[in-house]
Amino acid sequence: MKKGYFGDFGGRFAPELLMPPLLELEEAMERIMAGEAFQRELTELLTHFVGRPTALYHCANLSREVGFGVWLKREDLAHTGAHKINNTVGQALLAKHMGKTKLVAETGAGQHGVATATAAALLGLECIVYMGAEDVVRQAHNVQRMELLGATVRPVESGSRTLKDAINAAMRHWIAEQAATHYCLGSAVGPHPFPLLVRELQAVIGREALAQFQERTGKLPDRVVACVGGGSNAIGMFHAFVPHEQVALIGVEAAGDGSPGCCHSATLSTGTPGVLHGTMTKLLQTIEGQILPSHSLAPGLDYPGVGPEHAHLQALGRAEYVCVTDDQALAGFMRLARAEGILPALESSHALAYVLGLSGTLPATVDVIVCLSGRGDKDLEIVRQALVKREG
């Protein structure tokens, strides 16, 4: 396979001015991150700061309701409330070893921004976070958290004022400030080596889930399910299971309000191959190659591209990608809250909704693990408004 590619997807389609920092990062991954000392330091932080391993929880109540085994990999229990912290602690540590003093990041739901601000505070790095102006409003609570952690939040007013525009702004910042700055990219997207780097840092999710499930049951799960926006929690969850072909891998994308022609975020289900943000992947785009606006109730899924490794897994037939609407995700949110006492992030609610939709169709012997990528506290206002709208 060509370096930096996953089959036909991936690569490095970045302005020439970004090639030196991308090559520097690739070299640091190979030299510093692969070293024993770095890995020891990272493990120490993941254990005592992030709170790993996160629990693998068997949902007894939900399992009874749906007729098969439902398990949750509880990334919502990681520090800051989402899987994003695995990636940012790793990248911030790498940046520090590279001699960088600043982190720049983009954020959609705000979870990656919070996680980057947290890692920056921990490791003594300056932090600037770009966030679409629309998301600044949708996720005001997380903006406050970032600012309390010492980060500067810069609203992005251009384009659709969401995650993709925040990525454009962060890349522009990195072009100009590359000497002292590391771009702490929040998903398994972007030019090589980011999709690989983020996958490596998130693969801890799947490694733990595999070991925990085997220890509890003595077997492999039948299905592993995760939500996919950029796809970092999903690729982290899937990676350890990819070689185990008897385990079905299912990524769940956001279909917005589900109406035909509606802008949504189901890139793998409805997109076509193209280049965005430095990588060849599947995109929501016009036939002329202009990027279409996306939409999801879950800000973290509101992205018109997807990590190139997912596009590859789909092309191979190794993973299946399905869609869930805003309403279905909301129902999944409510059902987990009531059945198990857990408020899931709206992103994770998409994965849950898919699994709940299988109710009564699978034998009792089947076990499904869902990656609960984050907690739902950040989404309470969105949920409240959606419920008011539904009832009104």
- Minimum Å gap between C-beta 14 and other proteins is 6
Number of Cβ within a 10 Å radius of residue 174: 21
> Quick one: 146 or 156, whose CB is closer to other proteins?
156
Which CB sits closer to other proteins, 290 or 365?
290
Whether residue 263 lies in the annotated active site: no
3-class DSSP assignment, residue 114 = helix
Is there a contact between 162 and 299 (Cβ–Cβ < 8 Å)? yes
Q: Which of 48, 58, 59, 312 is catalytic?
A: 59
User: Can residue 285 be called a binding residue for other proteins (CB under 8 A)?
Assistant: yes
Q: Which of 278, 300, 307, 344 binds other proteins (CB under 8 A)?
A: 278
CB of 172 to other proteins, least distance (A): 5
Q: What residue has token string 């190794």? A: 318
Report the nearest approach of other proteins to the CB of residue 64 (Å).
47
| Short-list 185, 189, 171, CA closest to 11 | 189
Choice among 83, 112, 173, 192 that is catalytic? 83
Binding mask 151-180 for other proteins (x = CB under 8 A): -------xx----xx--x--xx--xxxx--
Q: Please tell me whether residue 17 binds other proteins under the rule CB under 8 A.
A: yes
CB 94, min distance to other proteins, A: 20
* Residues 38/40/42/43 CA torsion (nearest 10 deg): 160
List of residues 6+ apart from 17 with CB closer than 8 A: 175, 178
Which of 259, 290, 317, 389 touches other proteins (CB under 8 A)? Answer: 290
Torsion angle of alpha carbons 269, 274, 275, 280, nearest 10°?
A: 70
Q: Does 128 bind other proteins (CB under 8 A)?
A: no
Active site residue 59: yes
Q: Which of 155, 82, 85, 75 is nearest to 117 (CA)?
A: 85
φ/ψ (deg, to 5) at 323 = -120, 150
Q: Which residues bind other proteins (CB under 8 A)?
A: 11-20, 158-159, 164-165, 168, 171-172, 175-178, 274-278, 283, 285, 287-291
Task: Give the residue numbers annotated as catalytic, written as ranges.
Answer: 59, 83
